């Protein structure tokens, strides 16, 4: 593949040609409006590297992003240019995404030799590791040069995982603005029965045909907004982790993901009046957030405890509504549940001073975490062992954290106030336009909401406001708030 700079106008060295195709079509009146994903990508050099102010050198392996109303046609030209005619493709889709874009992609790449695998669309397949391995064997046996995944969510995640397992590169043809994972280096896959983010091979080329994406069902737009709603909590918790634990933090990636959430809301406001513009904005937002993840090598810029809840619901098949059982809808619902809990927690912190010696004594008296584990969590034991096994925590660490909190309390509370204020107004807006982000909409039982909330620190080793609550010795009060929260039954 040509280097990144051949595809992106590079703001840093100014020597590249612009092949990041933006959508200046008559259907989109605001075509000149900036795109966050393009701005972000333009910071990377010809090798796809960015020596960042955060101290890291970020790397992107995606080489081309086609965003236009004829991106499928352009992808066929790019394929011929970069891989030659006669390239052999293994194209993965399901019956829905085949109808949305698979067929037109295959017609557009006429010169290529295509082996198809079309999975059932209804019910949607579960993206398990076993299925990914089976597909990787199949793609390997087909002696092809490239995997092309046509779809959003499940299919694009499977394509990226199959690509890693088979050693074959992959392209992705997006069909909906429902997730922010197109450009990320992780895929949501069920491993040993647990649904979570696992490593994958990023897509070399992402094809976002706005005509295709614009025709996606409305619920896919709502899902995209739900997935982006999570960014406010992710931003808050990543900042908190940086302040409290010194965890590496990249302001550029964090702000890019946050901006993508703001853009998604902008899209939500205009969904009915300017659907083409809303499609383009939401697609750009999802891409931006996914590149922030790829650049930092994980999902930290985009996911926190709300994703732990969403992954738990996916693992436990918690939703009784198949039509709404989409990752982004679950992430949006979880964000809506987390909001009042965080609000009351941070309000409480305003006048709170930890009693250090009492807290340290309570820590000494704490039983090992295994002893207090609820029976209902036993099916998730392997996952919990894996997460807790890597957690380094001691009385000395706790003492240090308590001191840090006392010193940095105002910064922590101010950041939380800003993020939760934005999240609250975003939730109100999405409620107004009818996004189905309630546990009633999803038909999730109350115990399946409370269980992952009680165990959030066990299910994911990623510092969040729940860890701070535990360290301050007031975790129980968050849980009581959760149990009394009427939103859990709405």
Residues of this chain that bind Zn ion (CB under 5 A): 52, 54, 227, 250, 252, 331
Quote the least distance from Cβ 445 to Zn ion, whole Å.
22
Q: Which is nearer to Zn ion, 52 or 219 (CB)?
A: 52
Question: Partners of 147 in the beta sheet?
Answer: 90, 170
DSSP SS3 for 400: helix
**Dihedral over alpha carbons 399, 403, 406, 409 (to 10 degrees):** -90
Quote the least distance from Cβ 299 to Zn ion, whole Å.
8
Instruction: Tell me the two tokens of residue 399.
Output: 């003492």
Instruction: Tell me the two tokens of residue 433.
Output: 């336009």
Rg of the chain over Cα atoms, rounded to whole angstroms, equals 22
Q: Do 437 and 333 touch, CB atoms closer than 8 A?
A: yes
Quote the least distance from Cβ 366 to Zn ion, whole Å.
33
Tell me the DSSP string of 124-168: TPP-BHHHHHHHHHHHHHTT-SEEEEESSHHHHHHHHHHHHHHT-
C-alpha span between 370 and 201 (Å, rounded): 35
Quote the least distance from Cβ 184 to Zn ion, whole Å.
9
Element (H, E) at 233: helix 218-245
Q: Which is nearer to Zn ion, 228 or 449 (CB)?
A: 228
Quote the least distance from Cβ 327 to Zn ion, whole Å.
6
Q: Measured between alpha carbons, how far is residue 355 from residues 300, 413, 465, 481 in Å?
A: 31, 19, 19, 22
Quote the least distance from Cβ 58 to Zn ion, whole Å.
6
Q: Which is nearer to Zn ion, 136 or 292 (CB)?
A: 292
Quote the least distance from Cβ 222 to Zn ion, whole Å.
14
Instruction: Tell me the two tokens of residue 229.
Output: 């709603």
Give the β-pairing of 194-199 and 57-59.
unpaired
DSSP SS3 for 418: helix
Instruction: Tell me the two tokens of residue 283.
Output: 């697609």
Spatial CA neighbour of 440 closest among 476, 388, 486, 382: 486
Element (H, E) at 79: helix 71-83
Q: How many CA atoms lie within 13 A of 303 on its CB side?
A: 30
Q: Which is nearer to Zn ion, 133 or 242 (CB)?
A: 242
Quote the least distance from Cβ 430 to Zn ion, whole Å.
15
Question: Partners of 89 in the beta sheet?
Answer: 114, 146
Q: How many CB atoms lie within 10 A of CB 223?
A: 28
Q: Which is nearer to Zn ion, 166 or 260 (CB)?
A: 260
Q: Do 212 and 172 touch, CB atoms closer than 8 A?
A: no
Q: Which is nearer to Zn ion, 119 or 329 (CB)?
A: 329
Quote the least distance from Cβ 157 to Zn ion, whole Å.
10
Q: Which is nearer to Zn ion, 65 or 302 (CB)?
A: 302
Quote the least distance from Cβ 97 to Zn ion, whole Å.
19
Spatial CA neighbour of 320 closest among 438, 230, 206: 438
Q: Which is nearer to Zn ion, 61 or 118 (CB)?
A: 61
């Amino acid at each position: 593949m040509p280097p990144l700079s051949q595809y992106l106008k590079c703001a840093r060295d100014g020597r590249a040609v612009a092949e990041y195709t933006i959508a200046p079509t008559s259907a989109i009146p605001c075509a000149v409006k900036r795109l966050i994903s393009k701005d972000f990508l333009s910071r990377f050099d010809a090798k796809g590297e960015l020596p960042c102010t955060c101290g890291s050198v970020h790397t992107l392996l995606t080489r081309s992003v086609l965003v236009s109303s004829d991106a499928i046609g352009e992808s066929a030209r790019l394929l011929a240019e970069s891989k030659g005619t006669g390239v052999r493709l293994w194209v993965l889709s399901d019956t829905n995404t085949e109808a949305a874009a698979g067929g037109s992609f295959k017609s557009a790449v006429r010169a290529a030799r295509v082996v198809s695998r079309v999975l059932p669309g209804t019910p949607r397949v579960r993206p398990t590791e076993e299925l990914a391995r089976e597909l990787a064997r199949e793609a390997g046996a087909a002696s092809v040069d490239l995997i092309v995944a046509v779809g959003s969510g499940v299919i694009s995640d499977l394509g990226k995982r199959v690509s890693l397992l088979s050693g074959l590169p992959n392209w992705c043809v997006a069909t909906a603005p429902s997730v922010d994972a197109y450009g990320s280096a992780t895929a949501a896959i069920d491993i040993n029965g647990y649904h979570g983010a696992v490593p994958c091979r990023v897509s070399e080329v992402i094809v976002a045909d706005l005509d295709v994406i614009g025709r996606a069902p409305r619920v896919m737009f709502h899902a995209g907004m739900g997935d982006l709603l999570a960014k406010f909590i992710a931003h808050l918790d990543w900042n908190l982790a940086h302040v409290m634990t010194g965890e590496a933090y990249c302001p550029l990636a964090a702000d890019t993901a946050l901006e993508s959430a703001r853009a998604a809301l902008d899209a939500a406001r205009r969904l009915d009046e300017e659907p083409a513009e809303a499609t383009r904005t939401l697609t750009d937002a999802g891409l931006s957030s996914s590149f922030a993840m790829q650049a930092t090598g994980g999902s930290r810029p985009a996911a926190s405890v709300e994703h732990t809840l969403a992954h738990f619901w996916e693992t436990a098949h918690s939703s009784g509504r198949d039509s709404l059982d989409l990752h982004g809808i679950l992430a949006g619902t979880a964000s809506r549940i987390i909001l009042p809990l965080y609000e009351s927690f941070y309000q409480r912190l305003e006048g709170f001073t930890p009693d250090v010696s009492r807290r340290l004594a309570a820590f000494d008296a704490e039983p090992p975490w295994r002893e207090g584990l609820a029976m209902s969590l036993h099916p998730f034991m392997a996952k919990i062992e894996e997460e807790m096994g890597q957690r380094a925590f001691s009385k000395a660490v706790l003492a240090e954290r308590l001191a840090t909190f006392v010193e940095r309390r105002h910064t922590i509370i101010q950041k939380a106030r800003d993020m939760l204020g934005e999240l609250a107004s975003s939730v109100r807006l999405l409620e107004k336009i009818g996004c189905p982000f309630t546990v009633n909409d999803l038909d999730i039982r109350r115990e399946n909401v409370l269980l992952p909330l009680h165990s959030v620190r066990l299910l994911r080793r990623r510092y969040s406001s729940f860890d701070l609550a535990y360290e301050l010795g007031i975790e129980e009060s968050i849980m009581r708030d959760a149990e009394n929260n009427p939103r859990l039954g709405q």
